[in-house]
Homo-oligomer: A and B are copies of this chain.
């Protein structure tokens, strides 16, 4: 076991109706909220109006920023920072999925620091503090509601990258599975893929951490057991709740304690597809993870065998890869680029950007030839 610090200060409120406690908690953090959200779904599922009502009932001022896109862009964040500064907000309330919450996290840093958002993302500006962040999650997927990570993309530099800093932990997160009942099938599947991929990134990281390994297996088993059931019954509160809580735990640090790092190679590769073709994050992961395991079948043989034995009762590497592919297909998430509308004519363009961005991972670093090999498995 490596040395580590276990720490996660977010207070996460889970269950039906928990947003009723948002106002009172927000009133202890500030007087004027920047309310950040994306498009129409939060208007339809009630989360936007419930949150607004909570803030207004406490006499908290509200300035709104809408239109945050999936695969969020740093330019939108910069705009929001300006708006927030002009309005004099003292906290950021995000209502939506990861794109909205991740944007809100960087906004919360840049408003008081008056700094460039991309310099924060690239580590060129050391944040001195952040406004308090409150998240109302409407899509189970990335775990951003209980971690210190934000992912943004920059169209100018052609990058999609992640940034981690303790200042990014939301002070409060509100997870009412009710808001996710209307998430369409494809995004429901992508969210489930994402939570599995996060668990796998921990599993394939560096370090011998047996309890963290068991937690990884526990979380993936939740997804294996309840994911397909949810696809057949997307309006089921109980199934939504189980997947939502599993997704939080897949990336709230729990699976990383005792390791020096996760791997994150597949995420780095996936970000390239999202950047180039706006492919949903979860879809990139179901395409790329089985292919990555194939590339790693010798280098990470023992780990794939151990995982297969735990999850599927068989240790053969090819069988395990087949099981993951079959599961992702069962959910309806793509396992080939063609399934996501990306045809083979794009192969060189993809490889070029993957190489340029050094999409390689932390532990099992991918080489250029390995990236080339990997792409043969997804077309």
Contacts and interface: CB of A to CB of B under 8 A. Distances in A.
Interface in A193-230: 210-211, 214-215, 217-219, 221-222, 225-226
A8 B13 CA distance: 12
A219 B225 contact: no
A1 interface: yes
5 contacts: A1-B241, A1-B245, A9-B9, A211-B219, A217-B218
B1 A211 contact: no
A5 interface: yes
7 closest Cβ contacts across the A-B interface?
Answer: A3-B15, A214-B218, A6-B12, A7-B11, A1-B241, A9-B9, A211-B222
A303 interface: no
A14 interface: yes
A5 B210 CA distance: 27
Contact of A16 (B3, B13, B226): B3
A249 B211 contact: yes
Contacts of A242: 1, 210-211
Interface string A255-269: 001100000000000
B246 A211 contact: yes
A136 interface: no
A238 to B, nearest CB: 7
Contacts of A18: 3
Contacts of A15: 1-4
Given A218-B214, A225-B210, A242-B211, A5 B13 contact: yes
Nearest to A173: B6
Nearest to A208: B238
A287 B250 CA distance: 37
A225 B218 CA distance: 17
Given A1-B238, A3-B18, A18-B3, A211 B13 contact: no
Nearest to A237: B1
Interface residues of A, number: 40
A211 B4 contact: no
A94 interface: no
Contact of A211 (B6, B211, B218): B218
A92 interface: no
Interface in A74-121: none
Interface string A26-41: 0000000000000000
Nearest to A5: B13
A146 interface: yes
A152 to B, nearest CB: 26
Given A1-B238, A7-B11, A210-B225, 4 more contacts: A3-B18, A9-B9, A211-B219, A215-B215
Contact of A5 (B5, B14, B245): B14
Contact of A7 (B12, B17, B248, B258): B12
A7 to B, nearest CB: 4
A264 to B, nearest CB: 22
Contact of A215 (B2, B16, B218): B218
A214 B221 contact: yes
Nearest to A175: B6
B14 A257 contact: yes
A2 B242 CA distance: 11
A218 B219 CA distance: 11
A239 to B, nearest CB: 10
Contacts of A11: 5-7
A12 B257 CA distance: 11
A14 B212 CA distance: 14
